[in-house]
Structure 1
């Protein structure tokens, strides 16, 4: 390698990439970070909680089909990740429950991301924004850096002992969503950074990386159908977390999922229904206890139904269940069927068993008025990507060759294997495996690491 070689070249400046680059810089290593957007941060700027399952056993319970090695590495590395955030002077608030099974910390992600970038620059290491990565450099099957396109149109070869792919996944590309998630995924909303269009996946596969993602699913939420998500403030403001306590009907008027298992899981299920849209039905009790209430401790509650209505969502308040029979024809739902299904559901809560079941909230929806809102899935990131080991080394697609691709790392949403149709945090794995990539590039493990 030439004189310009760095210990670690990071492609992508989000949670994973900035964490890795800052850790290498803090340890006295040399690093260059390349980000194609005008500023660093990526989708992490839209998030505010670093959380995951509290134990490996709990993670395996909610995510039984995920890679067990990665599950263990995530849980083992979480405390060190939180300690790293705090070591930079960034507030990491006391732990609170998340999604009923998880545990995590509210973090000022803007402060964290900007602090990482400042640390890198203060150590006289490079951060190149508005810079595209054209291709990885290889020599005898070993990744040696990348060829980049600078803002002025010139090209630059950056040589590196290790190269980290951390470009944020492929959820910003409709064609890749259709290919790797579901044909109807091409048209769903995007509640993430639009720059994440599969760059890391393409770069990795071009040098022989495997792809792990068949039927892996995605993380997202139900959002009001037909409402623009161009304003990132809407990613959380309009997310229909309360769906876990409502009933969801597809365009045939039937329930098809246990809504109580989690809005993020319901979003995956709705994507596979006709039209990938459905009607959420809640009653006055759900409106009082959930629609207007706080979703996570410490975050003030807002009336999401009202916010969605003001945003132009298809919505209505019905004074009685019988009003469903006069649902506007242009909505495309059989209102009378949905009325009957709600009545049947309420009857089963008195001693029967609704189908699908309602494991975590079996109470009836029988207190008028009824709040009706059309919902659709929106994606934050896909679970499919480049498979890695616990040290963030990318696995090879060639079973006869190396298990890993020498010199190549991946972290964050560019990776696959950790989650499979289940979810236990997005920022946490980006942080943990970003730091793991840094320690791999540095040639060791932190003194406090579990293994």
Structure 2
């Protein structure tokens, strides 16, 4: 029975802190206090890779993550006040028979107070290394499949969830697997918006847009390296994707602009809240409502084919249940990119060696390796994008919407040096040319109030603030006098409606309402434009130039949609649109 009373829960938290010295892991502590069956079933072994029983027992005793968050509130960073969609499993961080780790450490550099915790590090063998486990793999394949379904979706980001929901609604039975202990992929981190042309939200706001303009913007942003057929699918279906999400409960009524767009088309929740976590939450809710089988801590290892080369299933490895195979008529790869794998990134683009990444820790490129082993063709792998505004302090990506809503970029000398809403590659290159390879996003209180996402940055304590610009410069390390002159000049451009310095197209507001803020940023690897070659139906193309029967792919694991450079706001549109297409096409392929 859950201990609802906060004093009882607080007592358990206190007991944890008092007994750290006596135990080096949580299993020892719980065995001393309550016995092994406080966590485990009668078998004393995990029953599934989600650790459903173990996590359920955690919540029964300590409360859910929201209750625990209330007890662990702090001035800035509350590790239990998660920004992840859904309810992250306790075992994502709290290990039992080995030292615990803090999953947040995989991205952030804040200090976290967690009993029995060590610094998070990935100890994950590559797909090539797993190939050496031939005896275990052969033994698993010699057995009957542990599960049988119509379609297996690999990846729980926006593309994977969109594919799973769309395939289910087309009549297919679906299993969704995810190698991480949490859902959402990179989508849960996306903040700026979801590009769409000719949407109902645009019409309601009096915004005139056209699919052809979105196509031109996307091709121009990608330096015409994009596959025109894929760009056409993206743009033609973009408004339909917004409507599809809206029908499932999404709020995409706020429309702004991101770099490279010539029209306001970046859709996001009312008030400018982060779009990615919201979209994933809506998709998760709908997947749960449809009772879709979701398996975490489960890696795709090998696509299985029949004698004719068509998909017949997938070999997987569960973190707790080991190797087994799933019988399926189709597999959809939605595993995301590889920005978190700097060795792979640097091999393709040496100038990015050693760069931080904005991605979630699972973005290592597994999906590309699994696809390559199935003879899938690749394209555009050399095109890797750095996001220009990654916070120097804390390891937080700062959404492009901050600039879109009126912030400017200045260097330590207090000078603007670039059109703030140019394409990401140009903005990143310009920042790296400044002293110390970083710059500052400067904005006022009106910009802060225009975008809910900014509140999170302020709460994290990474944004210096002052009542006037000279004082702000002193706090942030910027020439305050020069900054004041720069802001005055910029405000004059806003009044005139024309940026005489850098030809910035949108000038949404002057920076006049104190207090003022400065956030230090530097580029970090953000998006990998290349990946698996697909056609307009998302069918994976083989190295022989023919489609691999039953194999589909969607999202950042694919190449061709964005060319040499992705426009901000096109990622969520990409993953939802092509995820839907993949789910529908896979269902059609198997005869549903």
TM-score by length of structure 1 reads: 0.73
Per-residue CA deviation, residues 305-338 of structure 1 (Å, 9 max, x unaligned), is xx28x634688887559x97x999xx7x9x6997
Deviation at 1:353, TM superposition (A): 8.2
Q: Structure 1 residue 104 and structure 2 residue 267: aligned? A: yes
2:343 to 168, 171, 175: 175
> Which position in structure 1 is the counterpart of 2:183?
40
Is the Cα contact below 8 Å between 1:13 and 1:40 reproduced in 2?
yes
Per-residue CA deviation, residues 364-414 of structure 1 (Å, 9 max, x unaligned), is 989999865421124553322223222111233x3xx23433332111221
Consecutive unaligned residues of structure 1, counting only runs of 5 or more, are 230-234, 447-451
Please give the root-mean-square deviation of Cα atoms over the aligned residues, in Å: 4.4
Hey, what's the Cα distance between the residues in 2 that align with 1:394 and 1:361?
43
Deviation at 1:344, TM superposition (A): 12
Q: Structure 1 residue 443 and structure 2 residue 588: aligned? A: yes
Is the Cα contact below 8 Å between 1:96 and 1:104 reproduced in 2?
yes
Is the Cα contact below 8 Å between 1:439 and 1:445 reproduced in 2?
no
Is the Cα contact below 8 Å between 1:180 and 1:384 reproduced in 2?
no
Is the Cα contact below 8 Å between 2:463 and 2:518 reproduced in 1?
no
Is the Cα contact below 8 Å between 2:241 and 2:577 reproduced in 1?
yes
Is the Cα contact below 8 Å between 1:31 and 1:126 reproduced in 2?
yes
Q: Structure 1 residue 387 and structure 2 residue 387: aligned? A: no
Per-residue CA deviation, residues 108-163 of structure 1 (Å, 9 max, x unaligned), is 43542323432453xxx633221111222234544433211123343112232221
> Which position in structure 1 is the counterpart of 2:576?
431
Q: Structure 1 residue 294 and structure 2 residue 464: aligned? A: no
> Which position in structure 2 is the counterpart of 1:76?
236
Hey, what's the Cα distance between the residues in 1 that align with 2:576 and 2:245?
9
Hey, what's the Cα distance between the residues in 2 that align with 1:93 and 1:352?
33
Per-residue CA deviation, residues 25-47 of structure 1 (Å, 9 max, x unaligned), is 23332322221122433333345
Q: Structure 1 residue 257 and structure 2 residue 418: aligned? A: yes
> Which position in structure 2 is the counterpart of 1:311?
461
2:334 to 156, 163, 166: 166
CA gap 1:79/1:348 in 2 versus in 1, 3 angstroms = closer
Hey, what's the Cα distance between the residues in 1 that align with 2:559 and 2:497?
43
Per-residue CA deviation, residues 39-87 of structure 1 (Å, 9 max, x unaligned), is 4333333457544344431222322223221122123333443444355
Hey, what's the Cα distance between the residues in 2 that align with 1:312 and 1:402?
50
Deviation at 1:164, TM superposition (A): 0.9
Per-residue CA deviation, residues 405-443 of structure 1 (Å, 9 max, x unaligned), is 333211122122111322333222212111111121122
Q: Provide the secondary structure at the position in 2 that maps to 1:114.
A: helix
CA gap 1:151/1:318 in 2 versus in 1, 3 angstroms = same
CA gap 1:103/1:187 in 2 versus in 1, 3 angstroms = closer
CA gap 1:261/1:441 in 2 versus in 1, 3 angstroms = same
> Which position in structure 1 is the counterpart of 2:372?
205
CA gap 1:30/1:212 in 2 versus in 1, 3 angstroms = same
Deviation at 1:203, TM superposition (A): 1.3
CA gap 1:252/1:273 in 2 versus in 1, 3 angstroms = farther
- Greater RCO between the two (CA within 8 Å, min separation 6)? 1
Hey, what's the Cα distance between the residues in 2 that align with 1:171 and 1:15?
17
Q: Provide the secondary structure at the position in 1 that maps to 2:331.
A: strand
Hey, what's the Cα distance between the residues in 1 that align with 2:575 and 2:319?
27
- Higher strand proportion (structure 1 or 2): 1
Is the Cα contact below 8 Å between 2:315 and 2:325 reproduced in 1?
yes
> Which position in structure 2 is the counterpart of 1:152?
320
Which sits farther off after the overlay, 156-165 or 134-143? 134-143
Q: Structure 1 residue 57 and structure 2 residue 57: aligned? A: no
Deviation at 1:211, TM superposition (A): 2.7
TM-score by length of structure 2 reads: 0.58
Number of residue equivalences: 414
Consecutive unaligned residues of structure 2, counting only runs of 5 or more, are 1-140, 199-209, 258-262, 270-274
Q: Structure 1 residue 137 and structure 2 residue 137: aligned? A: no
Q: Provide the secondary structure at the position in 2 that maps to 1:402.
A: coil
CA gap 1:145/1:257 in 2 versus in 1, 3 angstroms = farther
> Which position in structure 1 is the counterpart of 2:288?
118
Deviation at 1:248, TM superposition (A): 3.5
Hey, what's the Cα distance between the residues in 1 that align with 2:300 and 2:502?
47
Is the Cα contact below 8 Å between 2:300 and 2:315 reproduced in 1?
yes
CA gap 1:277/1:154 in 2 versus in 1, 3 angstroms = same
Deviation at 1:210, TM superposition (A): 2.8
Is the Cα contact below 8 Å between 2:467 and 2:514 reproduced in 1?
no
